[in-house]
């Protein structure tokens, strides 16, 4: 069951991030065309791209952490035996879960609630919508962390090792 949930979650986040990145590239191209060819720069694209970067970055953070491809502090995990490495990985996942709940979800909800009355200058969006990327990424990260904890406890899962790539 965890594999199915992970697969669906992976596909949704991959698709959203990919489409959003494609839209960002199109908006950047439009900004260049409108500024240099038409002589009238678009007023909303820079703000849209700035806010989109926040959203895509937060969703990608949750996705990469869910795949366990994030930057790790491997000094201690390299020193312990394979048996204890599983518990070290579980501790890391629990730290991610705590970060997701207390910083991203709770803190992000507070930030988005406080800024809901502020409006962005060009797009006219409430800033709370921009900050809502934090709790959404926190929910996704918490779900990934729970899935990773379940896999570490139930299944025999070792961290995915990077395979050397030919250059």
Average pLDDT, the chain: 90
Q: What confidence score (pLDDT) does residue 117 get?
A: 96
Task: Show me where the domains of the chain are located.
Answer: 2-154
- The residues near 39 (Cβ < 8 Å, ≥ 6 apart) are none
Chain segment 50-65, per-residue pLDDT in tens? 999 999 999 999 999 9
DSSP secondary structure letter of residue 140? H
Q: Which residues contact 105 (CB under 8 A, 6 or more apart)?
A: 134, 135, 138, 139, 142
- Summarised one tens digit per residue, pLDDT across range 84-124 is 888 888 998 999 999 999 999 999 999 999 999 999 999 99
* Confidence check: pLDDT of 73 > 90: no
DSSP secondary structure letter of residue 160: P
- pLDDT at 2 (0 to 100): 85
For the chain, the distance separating the N- and C-terminal CA atoms, rounded to the nearest angstrom, is 38
Q: Model confidence at 83, in pLDDT bands (50, 70, 90)?
A: confident
> Helix (H, G, I), strand (E, B), or coil: what is residue 119?
strand
What's the rounded Cα separation, in Å, for the pair 118 and 31? Answer: 25
For 70, 71, 88, 167, the CA distances from 74, given in Å and listed in that order, are 11, 9, 10, 25
Find the DSSP H helices in the chain: 2-32, 45-66, 75-79, 82-98, 108-114, 127-131, 133-154
| DSSP assignment string, 83-112 | HHHHHHHHHHHHHHHHIIIIIIIIIHHHHH
Q: Indicate whether 48 pLDDT > 90.
A: yes
């Amino acid at each position: 069951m965890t594999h199915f949930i992970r697969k669906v979650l992976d596909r949704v986040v991959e698709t959203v991030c990919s489409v959003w990145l494609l839209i960002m590239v199109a908006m950047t191209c439009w900004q260049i065309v409108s500024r240099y060819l038409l002589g009238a720069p678009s007023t909303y694209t820079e703000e849209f791209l700035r806010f989109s970067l926040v959203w895509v970055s937060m969703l990608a953070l949750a996705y990469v952490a869910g795949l366990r491809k994030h930057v790790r502090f491997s000094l201690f995990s390299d020193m312990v035996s394979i048996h204890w490495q599983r518990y070290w990985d579980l501790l890391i996942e629990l730290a991610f879960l705590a970060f997701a709940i207390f910083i991203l979800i709770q803190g992000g909800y507070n930030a988005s609630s406080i800024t809901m009355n502020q409006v962005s200058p060009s797009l006219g969006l409430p800033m709370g919508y921009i900050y809502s990327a934090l709790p959404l990424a926190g929910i996704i990260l918490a779900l990934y962390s729970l899935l990773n904890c379940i896999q570490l406890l139930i299944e025999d899962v070792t961290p995915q090792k990077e395979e050397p790539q030919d250059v």
